[in-house]
Amino acid sequence: MVTPTPFVPVIDADGIATLVVPGEKSLNIVGTPAITALTAAIGALGGNGAVRVLVLRGSRDGNFIGGADIGEMAALAPETARTFITGLKDLCDALRHFQAPVIARLAGWRLGGGLEVAMACDLRIASSDTRLGMPEVRVGIPSVIHAALLPRLVGQSLASWMLLTGETIDAGRAFAHGLVHRVCAAGELDAAVMHTARELAALGPAVLRQQKALLAEWQRLPLDDAIERSVDAFAEAFATGEPQLHMGRFLNRRRP
């Protein structure tokens, strides 16, 4: 049995936590041990009130998660397949439900499970060499679990093309369709990720958690219910003290 990979997050003075995914094979391909360990590390960080932003990145040439281990999947049977995919689902859910904003730093190839993990993050910043795809149909399995986010992010037309053909798209097309939020030159990727992380960390942690929760609720609720829920959230914000603090600072800057 392979010993699970330890994930030791680094949390800086601004509350920016960084988790590095050390790929077990080329292209940062990960299997069950790494998936299990990463899910546990994210769960532990979720209980740390000092964390304002989480950055998820890969270690191989700065890459993210390339995809799930086909070598492991090739040996699966129906029941073990259910266990394997549930583990990957739990990892994606840990990111999607993480209280603070999560930034995915993307470079190189992001395929299948690697793209699903990225889509479960709140913000995706990619280098211009990034290629993204869901090629599962080419190896005899459907794209599942958080591939369900793809039509919501890029629209039904492009999602159908990617999922049925298994073709990849480049970073420019991904940006044009909303799959990534920003594209920059490879040499500028780290600076772009940290700039965004610091901007988020400078905001009130309570309001960011509120906004992330509202975004998730808006996906589930009918429009009228989502609007009504927003009224409650607005009122609840004033119990945190953050509106008074930040509005007070804004007003003080305007005074001569």
Our CA angle for 3, 117, 130, nearest 5°, is 110
Neighbours of 202 (CB within 10 A): 11
The residues assigned a catalytic role are 116, 136
Contact status, residue 105 vs residue 57, Cβ threshold 8 Å: yes
Q: For residue 184, list its beta bridge partners.
A: 127
**Contacts for 24-28 with beta carbons within 8 Å, 24 or more apart?**
24/69, 25/69, 25/71, 26/60, 26/66, 27/60, 27/63, 27/66, 27/67, 27/108, 27/109, 28/58, 28/59, 28/60, 28/63, 28/64, 28/65, 28/66, 28/108, 28/114
Q: Which two tokens stand for residue 248?
A: 């007070």
CA Rg, the chain, in Å? 19
